[in-house]
Amino acid sequence: MSTYTLSRGIKQGHKPGENPWSVSRMVALLVLAFLAATWLVPFGWAVLTSLKTEADAGASKITLNPPGGFSFDAYRKVLSAGDIPAWAWNSLVTSVAITLITVATSALAGYAFSRIAFRGRRWLYAAIIAAIIIPPQLLIVPLFRQMLAFDLVDTYWGIILPQAFAPAMVLILKRFFDQIPVELEDAARVDGANRLRVFWSIVLPLSRPILAAVAIFVFIGAWNNFLWPFIVTTDADLMTLPVGLQTVKSAYGLQYAQNMASAILAALPLVVVFLFFQRQIIKGIATTGFGGQ
CATH superfamily of 84-248: MetI-like (1.10.3720.10)
Would you kindly state where each structural domain of the chain is located, as residue ranges? 84-248
Continuous segment of H or E residues that includes residue 291 = none
Taking the CB of residue 4, how many other CB atoms lie within 10 A of it? 8
pLDDT level of residue 7 (50, 70, 90 thresholds): very low
- If you average pLDDT over residues 156-184, what whole number do you get? 90
- If you average pLDDT over residues 257-275, what whole number do you get? 82
Q: Please, what is the average pLDDT of the chain?
A: 82
Q: pTM value?
A: 0.77
* pLDDT at site 285: 63
Residue 28: C-alpha distances to residues 21, 31, 291 (Å): 11, 5, 14
Residue 85 has pLDDT above 80, yes or no: yes
Residue 223 has pLDDT above 60, yes or no: yes
Specify the amino acid at residue 260.
M
Q: Apex CA 43: angle with CA 261 and CA 220, to 5°?
A: 85
Residue 54: C-alpha distances to residues 127, 248, 256, 258, 259 (Å): 50, 15, 7, 8, 10
pLDDT 10s digits, 44-75: 888 888 888 877 777 767 777 777 778 888 88
pLDDT 10s digits, 86-106: 898 999 999 999 999 999 999
